[in-house]
Amino acid sequence: MWEAYLRRGLSRRSFLKGCVALTSLMGLSTDMVSKVVEAAETKPLPVVIWLHGHECTGCDEAFIRSASPLASDLVLTNIALEYDHLLSAAAGEPFEHHLEATIQKYWGQYILAVEGAVSTSDNGIYCMSGGKPFVDTLQRVAKGAAAIIAYGTCAVSGGIQAAKPNPTGSGGVSHYVGTKQVINVPGCPPIPEVMTGVVMHVALFGKLPMLDSENRPRQFYGNRIHDTCYRRPFFDAGMFADRYDDAGAKAGWCLYRLGCRGPETYNSCGNLRWYQGMSYPIQSGAACIGCSNAHFWDEGGMSFSERLPKYGPLGDIDTIGVAAAVATTAGVAIHGAASVIQRQKREEEEAKEAGGK
């Protein structure tokens, strides 16, 4: 990486600043900066092959909007991106030959990034690339990969392609790469900085980040949207918008009754937000549709605007809302009664005092 900075005429200072930014992006403590600098100085640029399956290309569109680091910096100085349908200038047969040459030259060393689902019905003919079923290309490239990253809910669990009745037989990457472990980075699409953070972690340390039970990097998928939501105080107080244009919605109340999936969705939207921290769905006034959840399109046969019947161990929302409202009302009533009693006592004492004089 350091050599790539030098080639671009960038200073040592900007290299070190880049390393500090990468360290925080990867969710590591500042103690790790020296390790990141060392890795960035000594490790060869990791070769990345980026395949696109059955999808809308929104994941790459998100990736190129990464601000910290800038996607252009990542592609030009931090990784050697040898093949990517969307970002490569090359196309056609020479491009496909380049893929084969890269696989052979870097067998066992390259990082494979995949976005999009794997379609298998009718021998995979519903998703073809370079004249071949995508599933065949994926399996061939995966065999020689040092690490595999599934970017986006489609690559993780099939996404919209796998929504019922799933006519193309689509599913997630991990089912088609044998016993190789896949790092799952869900979201439709994932947050840009999460995408760059994960690939840089693998690139610099040569190992997987800490993963949870669904093989998602813990530093980015350790919290529910609900845990970091700035509308949470309204949820706790039982104050919910019932329509997108009612007074509650305009006042920024909780969107749970409008179908918000925040209580069951693990992602970093509430912390990192999108596009240089500008906003995220809930901040824009829309309920979270749980886009980083497997099979979120089908979600128990519910529409996106239908509210979850219950969440977590606490049970039914109505009970929570009513309990919160009752507690609040009771609190107000008790406070009011106590104030009246105190006032009466004070008046009695004042009357006594006045009488005694």
Interface with ligand F3S by CB under 6 A: which residues? 187, 225, 265, 267, 269, 280-282, 288-292
CB of 105 to ligand F3S, least distance (A): 37
Give yes or no for residue 55 binding ligand FSX (CB under 6 A): yes
d(CA 207, CA 217): 12
Q: Which residue is nearest to ligand FSX (CB)?
A: 58
Minimum Å gap between C-beta 84 and ligand FSX is 12
State how far the Cα of 106 lies from the Cα of 335, in Å rounded to an integer.
72
Residue for token digits 């084969």?
A: 100
Among 115, 193, 264, 299, binds ligand FSX (CB under 6 A): 115
Q: Which is nearer to ligand SF4, 159 or 263 (CB)?
A: 263
The SS3 of residue 279 is strand
- Pairing between β-strand 47-52 and β-strand 111-115 as defined by DSSP bridges: parallel
For residue 195, what are the contacts with CB-CB under 8 A and spacing of at least 6? 59, 62, 63, 66, 151, 185
Q: Give 233 or 336: the residue with its C-beta nearer to ligand SF4.
A: 233
Per DSSP, helices labelled H in 148-295 are 152-157, 192-205, 218-221, 232-236, 247-250, 269-272
What is 212-244 written as a DSSP string? -TTS-BHHHHSSBGGGG-TTHHHHHTT-B-SST
Cβ proximity of 16 and 29 under 8 Å? no
Question: Min. distance of Cβ 115 from ligand SF4 in angstroms?
Answer: 26
Mask of contacts with ligand FSX, 122-161, x by CB under 6 A?
Answer: ------------------------------xxx----xx-
Q: Counting every residue, how long is the chain?
A: 357
For the bound state, the minimum distance from the C-beta of residue 56 to ligand FSX, rounded and expressed in Å, comes to 4
Give least dist CB 230 to ligand F3S, A. 12
Q: Following CA atoms 329, 330, 331, 336 in sequence, which dihedral angle do they give, to the nearest 10 degrees?
A: 90
Select from 116, 133, 192, 262 the one that contacts ligand FSX (CB under 6 A).
116
**Integer Cα distance of 147 and 174 in angstroms:** 12
Q: Minimum distance between the CB of residue 158 and ligand FSX, rounded to whole angstroms?
A: 9
* Smallest distance from ligand F3S to CB 262, Å: 7
In the complex, minimum distance from the CB of residue 306 to ligand F3S, in angstroms, rounded to a whole number: 15
- Tell me which of 53, 159, 172, 262 binds ligand SF4, using CB under 6 A: 262
Cβ atoms of 292 and 186 closer than 8 Å? yes
Q: Which long-range contacts (CB under 8 A, 24 or more apart) does 227-236 make?
A: 227/270, 228/268, 228/269, 228/270, 228/271, 229/262, 229/270, 229/282, 230/270, 230/282, 230/283, 231/255, 231/282, 236/324
- Among the residue ranges 3-11, 123-131, 152-160, 252-260, the one whose residues contact ligand SF4 (CB under 6 A): 252-260
In the complex with ligand F3S, the residue whose CB is nearer, 158 or 281, is 281
Nearest-10 crossing angle of helices 92-105, 134-143:
30
Indicate whether 256 belongs to the interface with ligand SF4 (CB under 6 A). yes
Establish if 288 lies at the interface with ligand FSX (CB under 6 A): no
Measured from the CB atom, the residue of 198 and 269 that comes closer to ligand F3S is 269
Q: Is 15 in the site for ligand SF4 (CB under 6 A)?
A: no
When asked if residue 235 is in the footprint of ligand SF4 (CB under 6 A), the reply is: yes
- Report if residue 189 touches ligand FSX, rule: CB under 6 A: yes
Cβ-Cβ contacts under 8 Å for 68 (sequence gap 6 or more): 21, 25, 193, 276
Closer by beta carbon to ligand FSX, 133 or else 189:
189
Instruction: At 311, list the tokens.
Output: 């969440």
Determine which residue in the list 152, 263, 290, 321 makes contact with ligand SF4, applying CB under 6 A. 263
Neighbours of 226 (CB within 10 A): 23
- Which positions touch ligand FSX (CB under 6 A)? 55-59, 115-116, 152-154, 159-160, 188-189
- Which positions touch ligand SF4 (CB under 6 A)? 225-226, 229, 231-232, 235, 254-256, 260, 262-263, 282, 288
